[in-house]
C-alpha cells in the first residue's frame, strides 16, 4: 500500500499506470500520520511543500515511529539544498516532479516492493 498526501500526483493517475497498487491520500500532516500508523504502507510519497505544512516535518515524524517505512519526497524544486534537507529528514528517495517520468517512479516503486518482499522472505524461518 502506498500513501500519497494531497498535492502529490493524483492517486487516479498512479492507479491507471499500475492497477495493482492501492493508493491512499491524506489532506493533512495529521491525517497522513494516522494513515501510516493504521495501514503500515510499503511506501510513502510526500510532497516537500504541503498546504500550510512541511513535507520534511512529516518525513521526520514518520521516521520517528516507522523507521523501516520507505519514504519518497516529491517536489517541483530540484535543488541541492532540498535534496540534502530531505536526506537529513530521513527520506529514502528524492524525485523531481518535472524530471521524473512515471516509468522512473514505477521502477522505484517496483524496486521497493521487491526489496520488501525479499526482506520478508529472509525473515521466514
Helices (H), 1-125: 11-17, 29-39, 55-65, 80-89, 102-123
Nearest to 42 by CA among 125, 99, 90, 108: 108
- The domains of the chain are located at 2-123
Query: Pairing state of beta strands 2-5 and 43-47?
Result: parallel
Query: Pairing state of beta strands 43-47 and 23-26?
Result: unpaired
Residue 78's alpha-carbon distances to 25, 33, 45, 95, in angstroms, are 23, 25, 16, 8
Provide the pLDDT confidence category of residue 8 given band limits of 50, 70 and 90: very low
Tell me if the domain spanning 2-123 has CATH number 3.90.1150.10: no
Predicted TM-score (pTM) of the model is 0.77
pLDDT of residue 85: 95
Between CA 27 and CA 39 the distance in angstroms is 16
Average pLDDT over residues 7-35: 69
Of residues 111 and 36, the one with the higher pLDDT is 36
Q: Please count the other Cβ atoms lying within 10 Å of the Cβ belonging to residue 38.
A: 10
pLDDT per residue over 84-121, tens digit each? 999 999 999 999 888 888 888 888 888 887 776 777 64
pLDDT per residue over 39-75, tens digit each? 888 889 999 888 778 999 999 999 999 998 999 998 8
Amino acid at each position: 500500500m502506498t500513501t500519497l498526501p494531497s498535492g502529490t500526483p493524483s492517486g487516479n493517475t498512479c492507479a491507471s499506470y499500475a492497477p495493482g497498487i492501492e493508493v491512499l491520500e491524506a489532506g493533512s500532516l495529521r491525517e497522513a500520520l494516522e494513515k501510516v500508523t493504521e495501514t503500515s504502507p510499503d511506501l510513502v510519497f510526500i510532497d516537500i511543500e504541503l498546504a500550510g505544512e512541511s513535507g520534511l516535518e512529516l518525513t521526520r515524524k514518520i521516521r520517528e515511529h516507522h523507521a523501516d517505512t520507505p519514504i519518497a519526497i516529491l517536489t517541483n524544486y530540484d535543488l541541492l539544498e532540498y535534496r540534502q534537507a530531505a536526506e537529513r529528514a530521513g527520506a529514502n528517495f528524492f524525485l523531481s516532479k518535472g524530471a521524473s517520468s512515471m516509468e522512473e517512479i514505477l521502477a522505484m516503486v517496483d524496486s521497493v516492493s521487491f526489496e520488501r518482499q525479499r526482506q520478508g522472505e529472509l525473515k521466514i524461518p
